[in-house]
Amino acid sequence: MENMELLKSGEFLIRDTSHQNIFIPEEFDEEQQMIAQTCKDFIKSEVYPRLEDLDKGNRELMKEIVKKSADLGLMGISVNEEYGGFGQSFVTQMLTAETLGAAYSFSVAFMAHSGIGTLPILYYGNEDQRQRYVTKLVTGELIGSYCLTEPGAGSDPNAGKTNAVPSEDGSHYILNGQKMWATNAGFADTQTVFAKIENDRVLSAFIVDSASEGVVVGPDEHKMGIKGSSTAQIYYNDVKVPSSNLLGKRGEGFRIALNILHMGRIKLGASVLGASKKAITDSVQYANERKQFRTLIANFGAIKHKLAEMVIKTFAAESAVYRVSKDVDVLIEKYKSEGHDKGRATIDAIAHYAVEAAILKVYGSEMLDYVVDEAVQIHGGMGYSAEMDVERGYRDSRINRIFEGTNEINRILLVDTVMKRALRGDYDLFDQAAKLAEDLSGIEIYKMNASDGYFTVKSGYISNMKKIALLLIDAATRTYERNLVHEQEILNNISDIIMEIYIAESLALRVNKIENIKGETGIYRDILDVYVYDSAQKIRKSALDAVYSIDDENTIDLFKAISELSETAGVNVKEARRRIADKLIEDNTYKF
């Protein structure tokens, strides 16, 4: 698989790939499964018994548990061996993020430390900085945090006012400003802080020791969820930062921030899987115990519908997560073979897949919100009680649509990145889109034939979906040209379509590969049947909303083309969902 021809980020819109060229969770090796089991055992013994105390905002307890995870080597999964880590593959890093994602606010503290608190120094730091900080962050001797957001600079980090002025002798910088929403702020030893040097237009990045004179950490914020996570404002009052603690080059901070955000997005896509599977397991176990009208509620069709839909969305998201994770691994190896060190090769590979990272972030966070909402509903009144884990899961989930760039920003970023990659010549998107639009009545539309194999049918439908996306991109860019950036509603329509395409294709490729490994497995075809059927309808709605909003001279012809391209064969979704739910109910845990 390492020798496969990689698709560039967003290129899936115009090129197909084989199931043989993707990685699926069913291929985890023994070492990966052992690492995942270690994570599960850790949160079961160290986190779950202390959830109530953590939710009371016990900073020291959270710090203690985070440090304990270092004793098992969990903080070093992503870090090179020469700095005390295990140097695991990106797929393994994502599996670790997924497994620990079931640990509620602990997962936020852990990911902030081992991800955005450590990796900027590993990826952009010099050797001295790596030795001074990364080696201690891996062991838990130091706890890290990441300080980007300011009261007046959220989605636009370059609007930040925090400023650094070089000293006359050049030995240090004088740092002044304020940061907010800094995770781990209450107990972190190191901070990656973004500030503008003098009158620079763009940010630079600094490693700041929390104990430095002039660093003032405020009290923890009172939050809706993730209450165990320390989130506070930090004030910098004439803080002396050694010049040796400038991270990367002067003015490179904005690039560092953006690339770390890509990493945060893609890993968030993994962590929500763990939270989702935990909520599904809690829900089915409750449904298998709770009786109403003299029968278990698991026997009711309405409950089965909910359980099945939770599984379908989670399984589909998981398919996309590990598809792109392997792509990242392959690209890392390619960059390393070209002479890049592992740190830069890794962050550049992650940043390359910016489109897919945004998809995983948006789809995953909204998938989890759906799952935890239905989990509360299945629990009924008990789901609203703080006694139940699903109540905590419901509150904790909500931040994911805001973390790592809001979903609104990510939807627009997704489309914008696809178009920019095409404009710079990464792939021939606009010409293919224009050719389709030239003759709307002559578009080659896949229609199912009785002789077509199962996966031929699914790939045909997904190919039709891709053509819808291309037609809309063509219509929108022709109509609005440079003003398209101001048509956010239409960009959202296109973004939603692109997301559905990537998730549906990833799911289809996974089910195909499962069958090549295990033989035909009906339950996974049920998941795929329902997902593609539903996706086609969602895509049709989003596409027509965009068409009627664009209102160009081809509206009628576009309507006809989209209507035909979004047609799929009927699916008995009731029976398919019941079979999915019945397997979940029988297993009494998420086991897909």
How does 178-190 read in b/e, with b if 16+ C-beta sit within 10 Å? bbbbbbbbbbbbb
Low-confidence ranges of the chain (pLDDT < 50): 1-2
102 C-beta neighbours (distance < 10 Å), count: 25
Contact at 8 Å (CB) between 403 and 226? no
The sign of the CA dihedral 242, 245, 248, 252 is: negative
If you search the block for the tokens 């991270």, which residue do you land on?
Answer: 247
Amino acid at residue number 400 = N
pLDDT of residue 552: 72
Measured in residues, the chain has a length of 592
pLDDT of residue 521: 79
Choose, from 366, 404, 500, 505, the residue flagged as catalytic: 404
333-355, pLDDT tens digit by residue? 999 999 998 888 999 999 999 99
User: CA–CA separation, 538 vs 478, rounded Å?
Assistant: 24
404 as an active site residue: the answer is yes
User: CA–CA separation, 29 vs 17, rounded Å?
Assistant: 23
| Domains of the chain, earliest start first | 1-421 (1.20.140.10), 428-587 (1.20.140.10)
User: CA–CA separation, 234 vs 192, rounded Å?
Assistant: 12
pLDDT of residue 2: 47
DSSP assignments along 234-292, one per residue: EEEEEEEEEGGGEESSTT-HHHHHHHHHHHHHHHHHHHHHHHHHHHHHHHHHHHTT-EE
User: CA–CA separation, 422 vs 477, rounded Å?
Assistant: 13
pLDDT of residue 553: 76
pLDDT of residue 1: 45
